[in-house]
């Protein structure tokens, strides 16, 4: 099941399709992020990771890396399996920004550095969000998951 929502103006008919996922071996632990970008017949894969991180940070990093990879403003559909990311952007971020990046309880927002970076990365684009249930067999989400796992640094 996928849900659909929009940020900013409506997306154009030919949007960049972005599929993202984060992965972590332990939480915290070594983690990775993966991105599949599609525009028409063009496709690009991105992945990377960190030696000590959390799953939420990798979910955020996947979306950030995808948006930062775009070379000009675009209509974008971001497919995520992370309610944390989608709810963060659509429901929580406007209030966090008004409150100086603090929660309702007046404590600093967790992962504030990445939320602020994501806010900047979103700004030039017309973004629609689609939620996909993780590990449900959705081909592009499974592809992003494989990329995220590929990005996890190997222990030496």
The one catalytic residue among 21, 49, 79, 125: 21
> Choosing from 22, 31, 88, 151, which is the catalytic residue?
22
Instruction: Given the residues 34, 48, 145, 151, select the one marked as catalytic.
Output: 145
∠124-143-56 over CA atoms, to 5°? 60
Judge whether 135 counts as a catalytic residue. yes
81 is known as an active-site residue: yes
Q: How far apart are CA 77 and CA 58, in angstroms?
A: 19
Catalytic residue among 26, 52, 68, 135: 135
Please identify which of the residues 59, 79, 125, 151 carries the catalytic annotation: 59
For residue 42, indicate whether it is catalytic: no
Is 79 among the residues known to form the active site? no
59 is catalytic: yes
Q: Which of 79, 81, 88, 125 is catalytic?
A: 81
Helix 55-69, helix 112-122: angle, nearest 10: 20
- Whats the size of the chain, residue-wise? 156
Q: Which residues carry out catalysis? A: 21-22, 59, 81, 135, 145
């Amino acid at each position: 099941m996928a849900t659909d929502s929009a940020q900013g103006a409506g997306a154009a008919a030919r949007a960049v399709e972005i599929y993202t996922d984060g992965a972590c071996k332990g939480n915290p632990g070594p983690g990775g992020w993966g991105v599949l970008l599609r525009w028409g017949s063009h496709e690009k894969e991105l992945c990377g990771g960190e030696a000590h991180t959390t799953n939420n940070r990798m979910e955020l990093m996947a979306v950030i890396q995808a948006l930062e990879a775009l070379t000009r403003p675009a209509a974008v559909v971001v497919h995520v399996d992370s309610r944390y990311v989608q709810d963060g952007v659509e429901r929580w971020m406007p209030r966090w920004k008004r409150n100086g990046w603090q929660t309702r309880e007046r404590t600093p927002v967790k992962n504030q550095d990445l939320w602020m970076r994501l806010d900047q990365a979103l700004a030039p684009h017309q973004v629609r969000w689609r939620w996909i249930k993780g590990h449900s067999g959705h081909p592009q989400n499974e592809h992003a998951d494989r990329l995220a796992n590929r990005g996890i640094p190997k222990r030496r």
